[in-house]
Structures are given as structure tokens and as C-alpha cells.
Amino acid sequence: MSKHYAVFGSPITHSQSPRIHAAFAKQTGIGMDYVAIEANHDDFRAKLDASGVVGANITLPLKEDAFALCAGNVSARALRAGAVNTVLRDGAQWRGDNTDGLGLVRDLTERHGLDLRGRRTLLLGAGGAARGVAPALLDAGIHSLYVINRNSARADALVDAMGEPGRTHARAWDTLPALGEFDLLINATSASRGGQLPSLAMALVAPRSVAVDLSYGEAAVPFLAWARAAGCAQTVDGLGMLVEQAAESFLLWHGVRPDTGAVFAELSGRADALLTAD
């Protein structure tokens, strides 16, 4: 019998997660169904409990809600992040993990061939998405991490949670022009989902800079267009990260890590795609 899984968030109609997990299930021969469920802060817990799923992915804006829902029953990496993107039913409770950071680092280093070591890094945003990737970036060897958020208290809280005051720094948005050049610039805000991009100084970009948007599709266009105009050497959207974090979630649920190359190729529309697009 197929077990039930889902992704919860808002907006959720654009999500590629059902397609990704369907491909993983077909590849591994595991019986499962996976759907997208619209949920917000006020109804997330009720919809999760009523859904009948044994596992779920959590996306914007619910990753910190999911952390609170798991009430301390979380992995070490989720505890460090203060955010959960993957849950697994644990009796009457939920157990939480966070695969975002591992997914991002795996995509950047293995798929795009980037050496993250020694990179001065700018992280725009301090919500659940930013919290998920910050610990993994530090563990991957970046030189320093500057966290910028319009709500400075949230940036301060993220930096404090990392426990590395010599490498992590919270800064106000209006200080951006004075911060100098960054080797890695990551957009973890949701602002560009509405086609709006906060003002960014082109002086932030160095000759070898890489710009990454944790969103994909149309939501990633404004930031990556700015990055190319500013002279970034490389731009990367969040599709590869999405596939890689999904594979880690699949591993947690089923004990098998699927091959991500074919699925990424299909979703990205590459000519060498090994799966047939629907």
C-alpha cells in the first residue's frame, strides 16, 4: 500500500516537490503518494494532523512553525537552524529535521563545482530559509557570513544561534553599500516572489562573485537578473537545492537516497534529460 506524504506552504501551487518525489518513487520502486497542501500560520497544525501523511516537507512561510510544532523532537541540524523543513510522524508526535543546508551545499559543490571555502558571504534574509542554510555554509568552510534583514532583531537572532561571533555578523539593510565586495551572495528573502527586489548596490559584487537565489522559476528572476547586470561570474537558482534537499528527505523517510541527476535534468529542461517531462 502507498503511504501518504505532502508539502505544506503558501503559495504552494507552483511547487515541483510532488513531481520530484513521484520521480524518486518510480526510480526506487517505493509505493507512495505526495501532494501539495496550501497552509498558513493559523491552520498549518490542523491541516498537517488531518492530512493522514506519515511524512512531509515544509516550505515558506512555515519552517519556524514546524520547528515549534516538533517541540524539541528535532535533529541536531534542525536545532541549530531553529527551522524544520522535513517532518516524520513519530507516534502521536512529529519529529523534525532540516535538509535545506545540506541540499544547498551539495548542489553548489557537486553540481556546480564551487569551492565554498574562504568565501566572504552575504545572506539576504533571516527567516526559515536563511536559518536552514546558514549552518551548512559555515560548516562548508566559508570565510564569514553577513546576515542582512529588514527586521534587524531577526538577523541578530540568526547570528546568535550560529554561535560563531568571529565569523557571523548581523547588519542593517541600509549598511549594505558600505559592506564591500562578497564572493557569494545568497537571496533567502521572499520579496522577489512578487517581482519586487529591494535595492542592492552593485558594489557588493566582486569579479569572481557567485549569486544564488534559494527560489526557482519566476521568483528567482529579479535577483539573478540584478546579479548578472552587476557582473557576477555565475548565477544559480534554487532548483538544484530543491532536488537535493528532497533527496535527503526521501532518505529520512525511506532509508534510500535516490539519484538526483536525472530528476534535475528533467526539471531543468536539459537536452540530456533521462526522464520524460509530462
Catalytic residue list = 63
pLDDT (tens digit per residue) in 88-139: 999 889 999 999 999 999 999 999 999 999 999 999 999 999 999 999 999 9
DSSP letters for 218-266: GGGHHHHHHHHHHT-SEEE-SHHHHHHHHHHHHHHHHS-PPP-HHHHHH
Check: CB of residue 6 under 8 Å from CB of residue 34: yes
pLDDT value of residue 183: 98
- What percent of the chain stands above pLDDT 90? 88
How many CA atoms, within 13 angstroms, populate the side-chain half-sphere of residue 91?
A: 3
pLDDT value of residue 191: 72
Cell numbers standing for residue 132: 536552514
The residue whose grid cell reads 553540481 is 111
Amino acid present at 199: S
DSSP code, position 166: T
Q: How far is CA 44 from CA 30, 175, 198, 261, 265, in A?
A: 27, 36, 29, 32, 32
Split at pLDDT 50, 70, 90, the class of 278 is: very low
pLDDT (tens digit per residue) in 51-65: 999 999 999 999 999
Sign of the dihedral defined by the CA atoms of residues 111, 113, 114, 117, in that order: positive
Report, as an integer, the average pLDDT of 192-208: 82
- Residue 276: pLDDT above 70? no
Q: In the predicted model, what is the mean pLDDT of the chain?
A: 93
pLDDT value of residue 197: 74
The residue whose grid cell reads 490542523 is 46
Split at pLDDT 50, 70, 90, the class of 199 is: confident
Q: How far is CA 79 from CA 16, 93, 130, 161, in A?
A: 27, 17, 14, 9
* Euclidean distance between CA atoms 121 and 119, whole angstroms: 6
Indicate the pTM of the whole model.
0.93
